[in-house]
Amino acid sequence: MMGRKLGFSNPSVEDAPLIHSLLNIMQTGRYDYTNTFIYLRSLLKALNFDPGLLLAPSQSGSMEFKHWCKEWRTALEQKQQSVKDTVKIMEAANPMVIPRNHLVENAIQEAEKGNLSTVKILLKILAKPYDYSFSSIKYILPSGDDQPYITYCGT
């Protein structure tokens, strides 16, 4: 699964160090999981490997991340895949939108007030999570709140 998220058509055991390295960088830098892969896809599609689009300035400026991007680019070149095919693989493996807690909570709060429009909009967007023509940044970005989100099951 992780190999396909990085655009590899035939992921192999040899890809594991690159994958683990990215996961470590993401954890250390507190990168948003979903947006990291959206960002990597955009880098590849634009053929621009200078980090900075959907990541915070401190994250995009990471020398470790910049070095990782170069290693990823090298790995893709070694696999001799076309950019078009690689982007296609990434788009199939990485959703553009996910049901982020703050959006779901807002929709529920609006529904409790009798306003179902927010729920309907969110459901419409989430019905096609892999639609890369989608462009509303509101549904892509995390809440911005650094605090862990706590959910309760009601018991």
Domain boundaries, the chain: 2-93, 95-155
Q: What's residue 142's pLDDT?
A: 84
How confident is the model at residue 60, as a pLDDT?
53
pLDDT for res 141: 82
Count of other CB atoms within 10 angstroms of residue 45: 15
- Predicted confidence at residue 53, as pLDDT, reads 45
User: What's the pTM?
Assistant: 0.81
Give the residue ranges of the chain where pLDDT is below 50. Answer: 48-57, 155
Q: Is 112 exposed, middle or buried (0-12, 13-18, 19+ CB in 10 A)?
A: exposed
What is the per-residue pLDDT across 14-44, written as a single tens digit (0 to 9) for each? 999 999 999 999 999 889 999 999 989 988 8
For residue 147, the model assigns a pLDDT of: 61
CB 9 within 8 A of CB 79: yes
